Structure 1
Amino acid sequence: MKRTATLTLTAALLASTAMAEGEVTIASWGGSYQDAQSKALFEPAAEATGIEVKQETYGGMSDVRLQVSTGQVTLDIVASGSGSAARAGAEGLLEELDYDVIDVSNFYPTLKSTYCVGGDVFSTVYAWNTDTYGEDGPQSWADFWDVENFPGSRAYRGSVAGALEPALMADGVPMEEVYEVLSSEEGIERAIDKIRELKPNIEVFWSSGAQHAQLMKDGEVDMTTGWNGRFDNAAKDGAKVAYSFNQALLDYDCFAIPKGAPNKGTAMAFLAEISKPEYQDDLPKYITYGPTNKAAYETGEISAETAATLPSSPENAALQLPISLDWYAEWETVAAEMYQEMLTE
């Protein structure tokens, strides 16, 4: 017990000291998202702590599952969607995080869990090509499904996360009842049937944020679902794209440590560092995702104008459906199997 306490204290000191030792390998999803993480979080934290950071891209928790199951874990920290992390933690794929080391006292209370600490807040939105529809494009999921008034090609998520909720809202289910309806196989099938209805107009089932941003930059589709920050960066690069927060899915990305990570202690210290407001307040400079640390709004780095564009601002958050981690922990595996069957029909 005394040795454990000593190790915890040592890790806490590592998190706060100017120079720490060691290295970590961090895996994220590439594209403008990882570029933003690197500039706002990884690079400055590495400089401040002396921890050497190696970055990789990966395919999500399936890669972690493979590493853990084979006992060949090379990743120390992974970026994850909140739902995927909840399920991976329940499967025993992730280390429990030490919140004596990682200070989350200023975090929004829903933006951390036993196995994953929030890194940013984002929204899954519907986006449209402004050359096709102008600035006044679809304003609801029902509009996204309305191929008569909004003719044109669509792209949609190729995995179940964030795919079923829009379908039910398009089918008339009130936002506050979506997860109640989804909490049965019949409700899941109802959502999948709605996607099946739209499937003839879906040109691409996308698998990454980089992909759905590129689809809009290239004008390959007229509408797509996707992540707000990716679309904002695409627009900066010249894409003709707009989106709405109305009925969007409010979610967060987080950082987790795979079970058996080779540098677990250093990884915990590094997560403590990048959770500080002086790093999180820089993230919106590179991508329009909101910080999870509320103190980041008080440093003076995030202007009121910028705050108004972030998913976690009170005005924008009120329009959205918060993702239910409890639902994903209980139903994601079943829903994913049913969704894949629909995709392969």
Structure 2
Amino acid sequence: MRNNRIAITAIAAAAVLSAPMAMAQDTLTVASWGGAYQEAQRKAWFDVVEKELNIKIIEDTTSGAADVRVQVASGSPTWDLTQQGNYSCAILEREGNVEMLDPEILAVKGIPDNMKGKGWISNLVYGAVLARNDEKFPDKKPETWMDFWDTEAFPGPRSLRRNPVYSLEAALIADGVPMDELYPLDTERAFKKLGELKDEIAVWWSSGAQSAQILQDGEVDMALVWNGRAQSIADQGAPVSITFNEQILLTDCWIIPKGAKNKELAMKAIEIMSRPEVQARIALFINYGPANADAFDTGVIPEDVAKGLPSHPSNASKGFVLDANYWAENLDTLTQEFDFFIQE
């Protein structure tokens, strides 16, 4: 009897000790941008991952690359997987703050090489586009970055991002540089072209919410903005439209923070969320496109929805993909130069 009690006690103790480990293996902590964006990811992707892997996804939010650095520096990251912007992913990879992804994940068909690195892979696409006030331009509308710079044909206050990223690319295209010959950027030429328009820039916006608000309020007549922000206010009745012509295709991507406890489980989650049929689901819940181009062949996305997405082949062909590696290498230097330019 005494031996039985000892055996039962030992089994119970082992169960208690192993419970935290089992819980760690059965959960995955994912950090994204929060709000409607993350709600869409939950419905489109997280629910699918939970069901297939029989796990629970615990959600958190991130405000950017600095959060990842803090996580990694702690020596014990609480996040297993996080969403970041594409050039932030490239920067974090260069810094050694991410786990390298399995070759099988990086070899997934449909996601082009310029939308992934060794330690990151894109999951959705949005665009930096030209948005304009249709009441100000009821007939002939600005359609190109050359038009954006043409203050005689299209007079009125404008807005660009308070950041060298996007602003320098738009300036060079306006100056006649072909989209497929932009990188490495001729920064001297770009700043010279920006200087021609500087007095017409009423607002240098610093957040997506601000860019939408100044368009909605009529503070500016045209702006370089994220397509989702412009579409949101247009859906609410603002007289705003966009063009995908010469759009800058941008992506968000998955990374696994260096030292993440559930690295292998995170890899499995990324693989599932990179599949065309799963990728396609994001467009059902928010106005962003899948990074996997094969998602448009799955039949999951209604055709009328698909044609309004920046990554739809008919729209993607009008623009170019931001070079994440270029910005990973040059962001700090060009940000300093850009800030000096703004303040002159």
TM-score (norm 1): 0.81
Q: Which one is further off, 154-163 or 205-214?
A: 205-214
- Return the offset for 1:127: 0.6
Alignment match, 2:156: 152
Query: Residue type of the partner of 2:32?
Result: A
Aligned CA RMSD, in angstroms, stands at 2.7
**CA displacement at 1:32 relative to structure 2:** 4.4
Would the alpha carbon gap of residues 41 and 237 (structure 1) be closer, same or farther in structure 2, given more than 3 Å must change?
farther
Deviations 1:286-315 (A, max 9, x none): 333322234422332123333322223333
Q: 1:327 to 1:39 in 2, by over 3 A?
A: same
1:163 aligns with 2:187: no
Of all paired residues, the percent bearing the same amino acid is: 40
CA positional deviation for 1:212? 2.4
| Offset, 1:167 | 0.9
- Counterpart-to-counterpart distance in 2, 1:316 and 1:68: 38
Aligned length, in residue pairs: 320
Q: Is the 8 A contact 1:179 1:324 kept in 2?
A: yes
Matching of residues 17-96 of structure 1 within 5 Å: 21-28=26-33, 30-69=34-73, 71=75, 73-96=77-100
After TM superposition, give the deviation of residue 225 of structure 1 in Å: 1.1
Q: Shift of the alpha carbon at 1:101? A: 5.9
AA matched with 2:233: A
- Residues 141/267 of structure 1: CA separation in 2 closer, same or farther (3 Å cut): same
CA distance in 1, matches of 2:299, 2:29: 30
CA contact (8 A) 1:75 1:261 kept: yes
- 2:181 aligned residue: 177
Distance 1:34 1:156, change over 3 A: farther
Cα distance change on mapping 1:50 and 1:325 into 2, 3 Å:
same
Report Cα offsets for 1:27-81 as digits up to 9, x if no partner: 22x4543343333223443355443334344332233234434546443322222
Which amino acid is 1:287 matched to? I
Q: Which amino acid aligns with 2:30?
A: T
**DSSP-derived class of the 1:163 partner:** helix
Distance 1:57 1:323, change over 3 A: same
Contact 1:32 1:230 in 2 (8 A): no
Q: Which residue of 2 aligns with 1:309?
A: 308
Deviation at 1:242, TM superposition (A): 0.8
Q: In 2, Cα distance between the equivalents of 1:159 and 1:133?
A: 27
CA pair 264-330 structure 1, distance change in 2 beyond 3 A: same
Which one has a bigger Cα radius of gyration?
2
Deviation at 1:325, TM superposition (A): 3.2
Q: SS in structure 1 opposite 2:166?
A: coil
What is the letter of the counterpart of residue 29 of structure 2? V
Deviation at 1:194, TM superposition (A): 2.7
Please give the TM-score of this superposition, normalised by the length of structure 2.
Answer: 0.81
What residue in structure 2 maps to residue 233 of structure 1?
Answer: 232
Give me the whole-angstrom Cα distance separating, in 2, the residues matched to 1:193 and 1:263. Answer: 49
2:143 is matched with 139
Structure 2 regions of 5+ residues with no counterpart?
A: 1-24
Instruction: Give the stretch that moved more between structures: 60-69 or 137-146.
Output: 60-69
Secondary structure at the aligned position of 2:257 is classed as coil
